[in-house]
Amino acid sequence: MSLVHEVDYGTPRSRAAKTVTLTIDGHAVTVPEDTSIMRAAMEMGTQIPKLCATDMVEAFGSCRLCLVEIEGRPGTPASCTTPVAAGMAVRTQTDRLKRLRKGVMELYISDHPLDCLTCAANGDCELQDMAGAVGLRDVRYGYQGAKHPDPGKDESNPYFTYDPSKCIVCSRCVRACEEVQGTFALTIAGRGFDSVVSPGMEEAFLSSECVSCGACVQACPTATLTEKSVIQIGTPEHSVVTTCAYCGVGCSFKAEMRGDEVVRMVPYKDGKANRGHSCVKGRFAWGYATHRERILKPMMRERIADPWREVSWEEAIARTASEFKRIQAKYGRRSIGGITSSRCTNEETFLVQKLIRAGFGNNNVDTCARVCHSPTGYGLGTAFGTSAGTQDFDSIEHSDVVMLIGANPTDAHPVFASRMKKRLRAGARLIVIDPRRIDLVRTPHVEAAYHLPLLPGTNVAVLTALAHVVVAEGLVNEAFVRERCDWDEFQDWAAFVAEPRNSPEAVAKISGVPAEAIRGAARLYATGGNAAIYYGLGVTEHSQGTTAVMAIANLAMATGNLGRPGVGVNPLRGQNNVQGSCDMGSFPHELSGYRHISGDATRALFEAAWGVSLDREPGLRIPNMLDAAIDGSFKGIYIQGEDILQSDPDTRHVAAGLAAMECVVVQDLFLNETANYAHIFLPGSTFLEKDGTFTNAERRIQRVRKVMQPKSGKADWEITLDIAKAMGFPMHYDHPSQVMDEIARLTPTFAGVSFDKLDALGSIQWPCNEKAPAGTAVMHVNGFVRGKGKFIVTEYIATDERTGPRFPLLLTTGRILSQYNVGAQTRRTENVIWHEEDRLEIHPHDAEQRGIRDGDWVKLASRAGETTLRALITERVAPGVVYTTFHHPGTQANVVTTEYSDWATNCPEYKVTAVQVTPSNGPTEWQERYDELARKSRRIAPFVEAAE
Amino acid sequence: MSPDKLVYMANQIGKFFAHQGHDKTVAGVADHLARFWDPRMRDAIIAHLEAGGDELDPCVREAVVKLLAAQHNAGANSKSS
């Protein structure tokens, strides 16, 4: 094994279609127009010395090291800023150039510390490399230069240091922050020898606007910005390309290793989802993998009040199987089930649902998409015929209008948000539909053309009002609709949306959004060029979540914004493999590839492959499982990598459901909140410890590659195999690639997928089959998967969760950049420095009415329950609306959320809860009781060797 | 399974289909229950219907009747086969 080295071409790739031919050092080379000479030289294998140039940012031309001579032109221009021209003859190495470069390097080195042997970048320093490249043997100006003013290292950021004495003021970090990340947190302060990189207004990195994405560290050619892990461990010696296990963007990383220790995670430039960028979670927050709280041995206990007892794998697996068999014998075949993990691989997810359907003999399998994007599956499946986003992420580069609904990508999908911001800075217009004034409404060099701050729960009304404007003002793309969609259904729909009750003026009274804003946004979406919709859980997690997804599909079809780059309907998926877990047949009513379990032909295919008969009836969904547990008909559950106690709504109901079961088996990295109610704990493995694939929000299947052995001794897929064998349904696989081969045999949209092909192509977007052997970037290009696109009438039905005198405010919940979902991973990293607790955002008006000051403890109460947390007074939320995150179990935000759910899928209505907020001076009774329960539940008895 | 919750859920489904008119609403709700509800949930709502069907919206009630008929037919078919 060795380090994966990526070629740095010095400047970005030109997108020009036309090519030109020139000669460099006498060799002809043909490149696209607008390519820099530096890049053209690199493409033929000649590396022109450089310091300020790197292909992640535009050329800057400041270091004067990349000079070349061009026949017929005076001087020695910088090759990074000089574009190629037809017939141009370039010389990259002449006596004059050698002299000039050496002179430049002398100046750099005269002002740079020469502590190379003890420098963290020793062996990985471009300044060092360039000194070698130009043949620097002496520095005429001596080595005692003034150096940069050295105010000392800035070590405030938990993950990297800033050492100004090593800075060569190349501005790569400043440009990366602007061009790649789009935060504009850095600048160069001072002039001449006083020049230094300055975060914000000459602040420390930690207190500046810096979002710790790592782009500056990656861009830095010296040790000025260096990962603390490199300083502590040393430089890596080999690397493996793998996929991030955080959000649904699916960034590719090089896991850079020394032995089996991760030194750093570096975003992979060839990663088609992230194109070499990263966020604070994927880049830095992987320390949870070796956190002291990880459980590495199986554990069991008779009752949840007992302490845990460490046992052998054999004992834990045997007990799991015997308990499940006992329960089925006593309560019936359908009395047990399981939950697949959207954090695990496709192969692991497929095996869990196979175990349940074929080994348990029922379809009681569900996944966390139940509580996030299940309405996307139902809504887009009904409208288009397939339940996934229509585009790839590259599509954003062709968008003229972006409509962002109920999503906050700068926090939840930060790497894609950076690409979106880049396009917006280039001129695309933005419409934000969100109750909160999210960052994208107004952020450096980006301002939304329209922000529709609708009242939580009124999505369908506003989306239908947008459609009203499209229809009433003659903005329908009739040619597209006539060709691609069911015309009769369109006419029914058009008549419905045109009704006066759906006009912006009528909807303004319901939603609180001014009619003119709705009209303006609709006109922009329908007439502004390529218009793309991106949406998140602010759309789906409502009692009308599915209806809202259908309304989005209607809008896109009516305006012809489907079937080509730059447009489409794009659900931003939450977890790393939530798309994959849905694709793999994790829903109780369908097998892999979204085929209903009642289909005789589909079932027969699986029955023949698996050698068992399958139940033709749909199984229980997660909320139904909990209801059935309380009712006494559901008694055992196998939960792989999902913390339903913290993540699912109405925590007390979830707790009651779990407590009513006779055998709860939790497979996870840590003793999570759900494990407080578990009888058997099976230690899981991180994404670093196994092979497999994840599928991201753009349907892109990417490899996860093992870089170390599973710390518990078994990868998650191996544990599922052991349970299956003990249950009497042995499944034989030697490697996850064989599971993917089976998936491909049984799933038409995956028919052409294999590990070999993934290794060859890097990644594949499904559908991948005979018709599309390399995958499919954009869906529905020549027609919809279902045939004709289906327009669906979207009647607005107000949620039954209403404000009133007792609960006058509306609570909505979401994520923050530094934390991830239930926080099991990110809370066990240095990321807690940015978000050590959940806070309640409240408008100054509402706070003042209640006598609440910023930072005060407040009680947040709904009819479901109450909790306490500290207040954050902000105008990001409108009067009457409050907001919090759900990352910390101490807060348990879901104690407050209710059992209301989407009509079609039971996706919980997290985004609308009527609440009251009052000053508080201590934790609630529930928090105190729960804290006590959690403390007791996590006791582990000392290990006792079994007697001979 | 709590009949109150199931009735609420079934009525929610009915409200989505309501604009399609009586026949399509009844068919739509019945189909949805058959395709997405676990058998014990369907049994519970049928039991609720047989116990009087309180709070079921009219079209939803008819959908549950249709579900019951379908179950009888399926039972009859399986006995005859």
Q: What is the pLDDT of residues A641-666, one digit of tens each?
A: 999 999 999 898 999 999 999 999 99
- Which residues have CB under 8 Å from A902's CB, separation 6+? A374, A375, A540, A541, A542, A543, A544, A545, A546, A908, A909
Chain B positions touching A793 (Cβ under 8 A) are 19-20
Chain A nearest-CA distance from B76, in A, is: 17
The reported pLDDT for the residue numbered A23 is 98
N-to-C CA span, chain B: 31
Chain A positions touching B37 (Cβ under 8 A) are 618
The reported pLDDT for the residue numbered A945 is 58
Residue of B nearest to A799 (CA): B12
- Which residues have CB under 8 Å from A645's CB, separation 6+? A651, A654, A655, A658, A672, A673, A674, A676, A677
Of B12, B18, B41, the CB nearest to A624: B41
- Inter-chain contact B9–A903, Cβ cutoff 8 Å? yes
- Inter-chain contact A793–B20, Cβ cutoff 8 Å? yes
The reported pLDDT for the residue numbered A942 is 76
- Which residues have CB under 8 Å from A228's CB, separation 6+? A155, A158, A159, A160, A161
Preceding omega of A767 cis (within 30 degrees of 0): yes
Give the closest residue to A887 by CA, choosing from A830, A817, A821, A818. A821
- Inter-chain contact A904–B36, Cβ cutoff 8 Å? yes
Chain B nearest-CA distance from A903, in A, is: 5
Q: Which two tokens stand for residue A744?
A: 């491909």
CB-based burial of residue A87 (10 Å sphere; 0-12 exposed, 13-18 middle, 19+ buried)? exposed
The residue of A624, A797, A800, A901 whose CB has the most chain B CBs within 10 angstroms, and thus the best one to mutate to test that interface, is A624
* The CATH number, out of the four listed (2.40.100.10, 3.50.50.60, 3.30.420.10, 2.40.40.20), of the domain defined by the range A809-936: 2.40.40.20
The reported pLDDT for the residue numbered A821 is 86
The reported pLDDT for the residue numbered A203 is 92
Q: How many CA atoms lie within 13 A of B10 on its CB side?
A: 35
Encoded amino acid at A882, one letter: V
Q: Is the sign of the CA dihedral A40, A44, A46, A50 positive or negative?
A: positive
Per-residue pLDDT, averaged over A36-41, amounts to 98
Chain B nearest-CA distance from A381, in A, is: 14
Chain B nearest-CA distance from A368, in A, is: 17
DSSP state of A297: S
Cβ contact A562:A569 at 8 Å = yes
- Inter-chain contact B37–A547, Cβ cutoff 8 Å? no
Number of residues assigned to chain A: 948
**Distance between CA atoms of residues A162 and A591, nearest Å:** 51
**Distance between CA atoms of residues B70 and A292, nearest Å:** 56
The reported pLDDT for the residue numbered B80 is 43
The reported pLDDT for the residue numbered B81 is 41
Domain covering A317-368+577-765 in this structure, CATH number: 3.40.50.740
Q: Cα angle vertex A526, ends A522, A531, to 5°?
A: 105
Give the closest residue to A767 by CA, choosing from A755, A745, A752. A752
Query: Percent of chain A at pLDDT above 90?
Result: 91
Task: Considering only residues A772 and A890, tell me which one the structure prediction assigns the higher pLDDT.
Answer: A772
Cβ contact A55:A39 at 8 Å = yes
The reported pLDDT for the residue numbered B77 is 58
Which pLDDT band, with edges at 50, 70 and 90, does B78 fall under? low
Of B5, B19, B36, the CB nearest to A795: B19
* The CATH number, out of the four listed (3.10.20.740, 2.60.40.10, 3.40.50.720, 1.10.760.10), of the domain defined by the range A19-93: 3.10.20.740
Residue A680 has pLDDT above 90, yes or no: yes
- Inter-chain contact B16–A904, Cβ cutoff 8 Å? yes
* ipTM of this predicted structure: 0.94
- Inter-chain contact A589–B36, Cβ cutoff 8 Å? yes
Chain A nearest-CA distance from B1, in A, is: 6
Chain B positions touching A796 (Cβ under 8 A) are none
- Inter-chain contact B16–A795, Cβ cutoff 8 Å? yes
Chain A nearest-CA distance from B37, in A, is: 6
The residue of A899, A903, A905, A909 whose CB has the most chain B CBs within 10 angstroms, and thus the best one to mutate to test that interface, is A903
Residue A943 has pLDDT above 80, yes or no: no
Interior/surface letters B5-23, b for 16+ CB within 10 angstroms, e for the rest: bbbbbbbbbbbbbbebeee
Residue A909 has pLDDT above 90, yes or no: yes
Torsion of CA A29, A33, A39, A40, to 10 degrees: 10
Chain B positions touching A588 (Cβ under 8 A) are 38
DSSP state of A291: -
Residue A364 has pLDDT above 50, yes or no: yes
The reported pLDDT for the residue numbered A628 is 97
List beta partners, residue A78. Answer: A67
Cβ contact B37:B58 at 8 Å = no
Of A631, A899, A903, the CB nearest to B16: A903
The three-state secondary structure class of A483 is helix
- Inter-chain contact A628–B19, Cβ cutoff 8 Å? no
* A57-61, A488-492, A574-578, range with the lowest pLDDT: A574-578
Chain B positions touching A903 (Cβ under 8 A) are 9, 12-13, 15-16
Which pLDDT band, with edges at 50, 70 and 90, does B1 fall under? confident
**Distance between CA atoms of residues A42 and B31, nearest Å:** 62
| Element containing residue A813 per DSSP (H, E) | strand A809-814
Per-residue pLDDT, averaged over A842-857, amounts to 96
Give the closest residue to A862 by CA, choosing from A789, A937, A917. A917
The reported pLDDT for the residue numbered A192 is 84
The three-state secondary structure class of A310 is strand
Residue of B nearest to A364 (CA): B38
Cβ contact A50:A105 at 8 Å = no
Cβ contact A612:A729 at 8 Å = yes
Q: Cα angle vertex A280, ends A278, A281, to 5°?
A: 95
Residue A201 has pLDDT above 50, yes or no: yes
Give me the DSSP letters along A835-861.
Answer: -SS-EEEE-HHHHHHHT--TT-EEEEE
- Inter-chain contact A334–B16, Cβ cutoff 8 Å? no
| Element containing residue A569 per DSSP (H, E) | strand A569-571
Cβ contact A406:A911 at 8 Å = yes
Of A546, A598, A624, the CB nearest to B38: A624
Chain B positions touching A631 (Cβ under 8 A) are 1-2
Q: Which two tokens stand for residue A935?
A: 């403390």
**Distance between CA atoms of residues A260 and A827, nearest Å:** 23
Chain B nearest-CA distance from A624, in A, is: 8
The residue of A615, A627, A792 whose CB has the most chain B CBs within 10 angstroms, and thus the best one to mutate to test that interface, is A627
- Residue A799: phi, psi to the nearest 5? -65, 150
Please name the residue that has the structure tokens 């089959």: A769
Which pLDDT band, with edges at 50, 70 and 90, does A745 fall under? very high
**Distance between CA atoms of residues A648 and A673, nearest Å:** 11
Helix H, strand E, coil C: the string for A686-715 is CHHHCCEEEECCCCEEEEECCCCCCCCCCC
Chain B nearest-CA distance from A868, in A, is: 29
- Inter-chain contact A620–B15, Cβ cutoff 8 Å? no
Per-residue pLDDT, averaged over A674-692, amounts to 97
Bridging pattern class, strands A69-70 and A89-91: antiparallel
- Taking any CB pair shorter than 8 Å as contact, residues of chain A touching chain B are 334, 364, 496, 543, 546-547, 588-589, 596, 598, 617-621, 624, 627-628, 631, 633, 793, 795, 797, 899, 901, 903-906
Of A546, A627, A905, the CB nearest to B5: A627
Chain A positions touching B38 (Cβ under 8 A) are 334, 364, 588, 617-621, 624, 628
Per-residue pLDDT, averaged over A737-760, amounts to 98
- Taking any CB pair shorter than 8 Å as contact, residues of chain B touching chain A are 1-2, 5, 9, 12-13, 15-16, 18-20, 32, 34-41
Give me the DSSP letters along B19-31.
Answer: GG-HHHHHHHHHH
Query: Percent of chain B at pLDDT above 90?
Result: 80
- Inter-chain contact A618–B36, Cβ cutoff 8 Å? yes
**Distance between CA atoms of residues A653 and A884, nearest Å:** 20
Of B13, B15, B35, the CB nearest to A596: B35
Give the closest residue to A228 by CA, choosing from A276, A159, A181, A167. A159
Chain B positions touching A617 (Cβ under 8 A) are 38-39
**Distance between CA atoms of residues A661 and A336, nearest Å:** 9
Residue B79 has pLDDT above 80, yes or no: no
Q: In terms of DSSP H, where are the helices of A20-94?
A: 37-43
Residue A948 has pLDDT above 50, yes or no: no
Residue of B nearest to A547 (CA): B16
Chain B positions touching A620 (Cβ under 8 A) are 38, 40-41
Q: How many CA atoms lie within 13 A of A916 on its CB side?
A: 12
Of A598, A619, A903, the CB nearest to B12: A903
Which pLDDT band, with edges at 50, 70 and 90, does A149 fall under? low
Residue A567 has pLDDT above 50, yes or no: yes
Q: Which two tokens stand for residue A367?
A: 């996944």
* A499-503, A885-889, B19-23, range with the lowest pLDDT: A885-889
**Distance between CA atoms of residues A635 and A651, nearest Å:** 19
Return mean pLDDT, chain A: 95
Bridging pattern class, strands A299-300 and A309-310: antiparallel
Domain ranges for chain B, please list them: 3-80
- Inter-chain contact A619–B38, Cβ cutoff 8 Å? yes
Residue A395 has pLDDT above 90, yes or no: yes
Torsion of CA A348, A349, A350, A353, to 10 degrees: 120
Q: Which two tokens stand for residue A226?
A: 């260096």
Task: Report how many Cβ contacts below 8 Å link chain A to chain B.
Answer: 59
Cβ contact A589:A807 at 8 Å = no
What digits encode the pLDDT tens for the residues A536-549?
Answer: 999 999 999 999 99
Cβ contact A315:A321 at 8 Å = no
* Architecture (CATH level 2) of domain A374-571: 3-Layer(aba) Sandwich (3.40)
- Inter-chain contact A797–B39, Cβ cutoff 8 Å? no
